[in-house]
Amino acid sequence: MLEYVFFQRALVAAVVVGLLCGLLGFFVVLRRLAFIGVGISHSAVGGVAIALLAGWSPGLTAAAFAILVALGMFWVGRDRRLSEDAVIGVFFSGAMALGLVLLSMRHGFQQELFAYLFGSVLAISGGELIGLCVLSVVLGGVVLTVFRELLFIAFDEEVARAYGRPVDAMNALLLVVLAITVVAGIRVVGVLLIEALLVVPAATAALWTLDFRRQVAVSMGLGAGSGILGLVGSYTFDIPAGGAIVLVAVAGFFLSLLLRRAS
């Protein structure tokens, strides 16, 4: 299978997205952003629909739309009368409903919509792959640069504020990076399953160590490893790539749970 260019590209894409989601997933799990991740990924459907109707680039449009939705959730979520999950629920269902209504106006887009819902990593082009790699390096670099700031905010937001740390800017930055990561990951495993790559490797890593350096390393390794094993499984058993990748990651989680319970 390695002789096929499409498979090589898919492999690189899955590894890169697995590494990036593993890194971001550390903060998603630590700061309980899992529902925000679901909200961002599902609202990307709205972005994809706008792109398909307007004839714009689906990736860029979905990314821009996801960033807007993420920041919208952030700003409205600061209203103390509302709980955060309620705000996420409003934005995410609203954006998805917008997508479904827009798509219903034009026929013949179902297939493309399916590609976004379930991922299409085997169809990734060389240009897209280079873009994905550059993007991942930039996003990963940004997160690593401000890593300890984000850790501080996770530890005690109030104290971080008292020390003059740019807490709001950091929270917004994390959401923007998360939104871009989600949209990039949608290409690989799809809207419905990208959440798994954000949560499962990081949650598995949290079972193994209490040191954040090791947690991040394990999480990134599991993300990349799930990508490789999942793609090989997908090829071998002729099953969907996105589903196979996520199943491998989830299997790793339960295996870890068993091993850690036993020890």
Partner 1 sequence: MDAVIFEKMRVELDGRLVLEDISFRVRQGSFLGVIGPNGAGKTTLLRAMLGLVTISGGRIEVLGRPPGRHGAEAHVIGYVPQRETIPRTFPASVADVVMMGRLCCKGRTRILSRHDWEEVRRGLELVGIESLAERPIGRLSGGEMRRALLAQALCSGTRLLVLDEPTVGLDLPAELEFYNLLRRLQHELDLTIVCVSHDLLALAGQASELICINRMMHVHGDPQHVVHSHALREAYSCEFDFLAGEIAHHDRAGGAV
Interface residues with partner 1 (CB under 8 A) are 30, 145-146, 148-149, 151-152, 154-156, 158-165, 206, 209-212, 215
Q: Report in angstroms how near the CB of residue 44 gets to partner 1 at its nearest.
A: 29
Q: Report in angstroms how near the CB of residue 222 gets to partner 1 at its nearest.
A: 15
Q: How far is CA 158 from CA 31, 144, 146, in A?
A: 15, 22, 18
Q: Report in angstroms how near the CB of residue 93 gets to partner 1 at its nearest.
A: 29
Look up residue 118 and give its two tokens. Answer: 């379930």
Q: How many whole angstroms separate alpha carbon 192 and alpha carbon 122?
A: 17
**CB closer to partner 1, 5 vs 210:** 210
Dihedral of alpha carbons 69, 71, 72, 74, sign: positive
Q: How far is CA 197 from CA 4, 113, 243, in A?
A: 25, 20, 11
**CB closer to partner 1, 219 vs 234:** 219
Surface-to-core class of residue 237, CB atoms within 10 Å of its CB (0-12 exposed, 13-18 middle, 19+ buried): exposed
Q: Report in angstroms how near the CB of residue 161 gets to partner 1 at its nearest.
A: 6
**CB closer to partner 1, 29 vs 231:** 29
CB atoms within 10 A of CB 35: 16
Q: How many whole angstroms separate alpha carbon 62 and alpha carbon 47?
A: 4
**CB closer to partner 1, 112 vs 149:** 149
CB atoms within 10 A of CB 122: 18
Q: Report in angstroms how near the CB of residue 158 gets to partner 1 at its nearest.
A: 6
**CB closer to partner 1, 41 vs 256:** 256
